[in-house]
A and B are shown apart, each in its own frame.
Chain A
Amino acid sequence: AQSVTQLGSHVSVSEGALVLLRCNYSSSVPPYLFWYVQYPNQGLQLLLKYTSAATLVKGINDFEAEFKKSETSFHLTKPSAHMSDAAEYFCAVKEAGRRALTFGSGTRLQVQP
C-alpha cells in the first residue's frame, strides 16, 4: 500500500530564506506525486505535480520539487520565502491505476518577518 511521510509537522523560516518541505513516499512503482497548499479556512490548491516527465517540476509562486527515485522523495523548495507563503502544505501520491490521492499528514509553514 502506498503511503506518504512528511517530515516535520511545523517548519519556521525567516522571510527571504530558503523553504524546504520534505516528502517521502513508499510505493512499489514510481507514482504520480503532487504538492497542495491550504490557506486558512480554504480548500486545497495544487502547487505542482510530477507525472513521469521531467524530474524537476516547477509550480506556481516559484515553488519547485524534484523527484528522486533512488531516495523515494519529492521535496518542495522555494528559494526565498514570502510572508504570503504561510500555509499548510500537503504532499500526495497516486499510483497508476488508482483513483484517489493518498495524502501526507501535512506541514505547517510559518514565515517570520
Chain B
Amino acid sequence: DAGITQSPRYKITETGRQVTLMCHQTWSHSYMFWYRQDLGHGLRLIYYSAAADITDKGEVPDGYVVSRSKTENFPLTLESATRSQTSVYFCASSVPGNTEAFFGQGTRLTVV
C-alpha cells in the first residue's frame, strides 16, 4: 500500500548505543519531518528535510542525526542513546504550500 511507514514499531535499547529509526514514503513528497511525542509537550520537531540532501534542525535536534540520500527515505539516528530520548517518534511527509502533513504509525523507543 502507498503511504508512509516507520520501522521498527517498538524498540528497546541500552544507554549509549546507536539506534536508527527508519521512515519510508511512497508519495514522492518533497518534505519529510521527524517529531517526538512526549506527555505534556505534544509533538516537537527534531529535524526536517525539504528535499534529498537538504536537511535542517528543528526545535529539539541535540543527540540526533538525519540523512536523506533518496527522496523516499528519511532515517533518524540516535548516536548515543540516553534515557531522555525515550519517546514515541513520528515521521511525517508533506508537499510545499498550505497543506497538511501525513504521519506514520510511530516508533515507540525505550532507552534503558
Report which A residues bind B (CB closer than 8 A). 4, 6, 9, 32, 34, 36, 41-46, 49, 51-52, 90, 94, 96, 99-106
Contact = CB atoms under 8 A, between A and B. Distances in A.
Contacts of B74: none
Given A43-B90, A100-B33, A100-B101, 8 more contacts: A4-B42, A36-B103, A44-B103, A45-B103, A46-B100, A49-B100, A100-B48, A106-B42
9 contacts: A43-B90, A44-B90, A99-B31, A99-B48, A99-B94, A102-B45, A103-B35, A105-B42, A106-B42
Interface in B69-96: 90, 92, 94, 96
A103 to B, nearest CB: 4
Interface of B: 31, 33, 35, 40-45, 48, 50, 58, 90, 92, 94, 96, 98, 100-106
Nearest to B50: A99
Contacts of A44: 43, 90, 92, 103
User: Which A-B residue pairs are the 6 nearest by beta carbons?
Assistant: A43-B103, A103-B42, A105-B42, A103-B43, A51-B98, A44-B103
Contact of A101 (B40, B101, B106): B101
A42 B40 contact: no
Given A43-B103, A43-B105, A100-B48, A94 B98 contact: yes
A33 to B, nearest CB: 10
Contact of B106 (A4, A43, A105): A43
A49 B43 CA distance: 18
Contacts of B50: 99
A100 B106 contact: no
Contacts of A51: 98
Contacts of B45: 100-102
